[in-house]
Amino acid sequence: MISIIIPSLNEGKVLSRTLNGIFSQTYKNVEVILINDASTDTTDEVVKPFLDRIIYIKHEKNLDRQTSRNEGIAVSKGEYIFVCDADIVMQSDCLEKMAGVLEKNPEYSFVYSGFKWEWKVFKSFSFDVQLLRKMNYINTASLVRREHHPGFDVAIRKFQDWDVWLTMIEQGRVRFFVDGAERLVSAGDILHFPSGCPHGATMLDEPVVLIDIFTPIREDFLGK
């Protein structure tokens, strides 16, 4: 089962479209947890037609998006976690494709995709740990195995989703692409990249030893 976590604050205008998109998915084994973070708009009215199909949590006072996300994850029961912003509309086969990848590849921790924002299409990149440490190319709305999801750090005021992926890297859940084949590695593993072979580390015709690459300093992420 996929647990879909939706934090929402005054997003009643877009919620029905998001929820209809979820319930129109070809993958039907889902639970939807909507956390209303003390909205003052029409959210309560908008969700009424969906109350028999969702878990609806309403805060009396505003907390924050990360706390809401963590609360949703804590009460969820699914094998997979999908954190979904309140304005996201998925293609009808999105969850089916993502779940299919994780079901066929038990060694994978998560799967992500490109997305479209207004008129611009973001195609993302193949998984590359070095690139990920420089920029966040993984959308928050990615499918993650429950046991591997670290949760959201409420002490961080920005780039919280980026921190999730970097935390998973630190935990050793890393994928490398070597000549089109995906490899899981951990700190201290030795990989040999043939000359001219494209990969996510450095272009060396010698063994590459991965040492302490899973502890990046992230002080710049912390709010003052």
List of the chain residues with pLDDT < 50:
117-120, 174-224
pTM beyond cutoff 0.85: no
The CA distances from residue 128 to 20, 76, 98, 139, 200, in Å, are 34, 30, 19, 14, 5
DSSP summary character for residue 222 = B
- Angle 164-66-176 from CA coordinates, rounded to 5°: 10
Q: What is the pLDDT of residue 173?
A: 62
Q: Considering only CA atoms, which of 105, 72, 74, 79 is closest in space to residue 27?
A: 79
Q: What is the pLDDT of residue 115?
A: 55
Q: What is the pLDDT of residue 192?
A: 46
d(CA 16, CA 71): 22
Q: What is the pLDDT of residue 123?
A: 58
CATH architecture for the domain at 2-171 = Alpha-Beta Complex (3.90)
Q: State pLDDT tens for residues 153-197.
A: 888 777 777 788 788 877 766 443 333 444 444 444 444 444 444
Structure tokens at 214: 């899973």
Q: Taking the domains of the chain in order of start, what are their residue ranges? A: 2-171
